[in-house]
Amino acid sequence: MMLKPQDVFIALKLLVLDQEPWSYVKLANALCMSASEINAGIKRGLQAGLLVHGIQGQSPYANKQAMEEFLIHGVKYAFPPDLGSPVRGMVTMYAAPSVAGEFIFDENNPPVWPYAEGNRRGPSFSPLYKSVPQAAEQDAELYALLVLVDMIRGGRARERQYAEKKLREWINAS
């Protein structure tokens, strides 16, 4: 079994859902993935310990302790971002709305996830999975978590420290 980036994406959505009931079709629609990709990702997430089985037939849910540990200490090594030339996309990292005002950056050159429907242009920053921008458009809480994960994956020391602190606060509050 090899964990894939989309498995982390799925686990992040389950972290947002916080043990709410879900179906493979609903999750697939929310993440703009196929139900079979969701099924495979859930299996790998369970095997890796990022997810745990629900009690008495309930759906699997995120293992908060394992997620915190992996996101803070492992995701930057397992899934480093590809950085590229300027493209149209959706802002991420320190330029995202959820962390607005926390960092000073070149407003004309924010890091973006490549996305044809995006409204900004900047250097490309590869998302965990190709459908991340579409899913983030539909779910502000998921977007905010993905931004924190990106700051850990590709940020400088101050950005990583900020993201680690906010991620811990978010996980422990939910």
Domain boundary among 42, 77, 112: 77
Which CATH number do you get for residue 19? 1.10.10.10
What is the pLDDT tens value at each position of the chain, 174 positions in all? 799 999 999 999 999 998 888 999 999 999 999 999 999 999 999 999 999 998 877 899 999 999 999 999 999 999 999 999 999 999 999 999 999 888 877 788 899 999 999 999 999 999 999 999 999 999 999 999 999 999 999 999 999 999 999 999 999 886
3-state class (DSSP) for residue 143: helix
* pTM, to two decimals: 0.95
What would the two tokens of residue 44 be? 């790998």
Q: How many CA atoms lie within 13 A of 158 on its CB side?
A: 4
Residues 48 and 109 in one domain: no
Domain boundary among 77, 100, 120: 77
Give φ, ψ of 63 to 5 degrees: -85, 100
Domain boundary among 77, 109, 141: 77
Nearest CA among 166, 174, 173, 171 for reference residue 65: 171
Number of Cβ atoms within 10 Å of the Cβ of 47: 13
Residues 15 and 83 in one domain: no
What would the two tokens of residue 48 be? 């890796």
Q: How many CA atoms lie within 13 A of 39 on its CB side?
A: 5
The position carrying tokens 């101050």 is 158
Residues 83 and 162 in one domain: yes
Q: Which domain holds residue 51?
A: 5-77
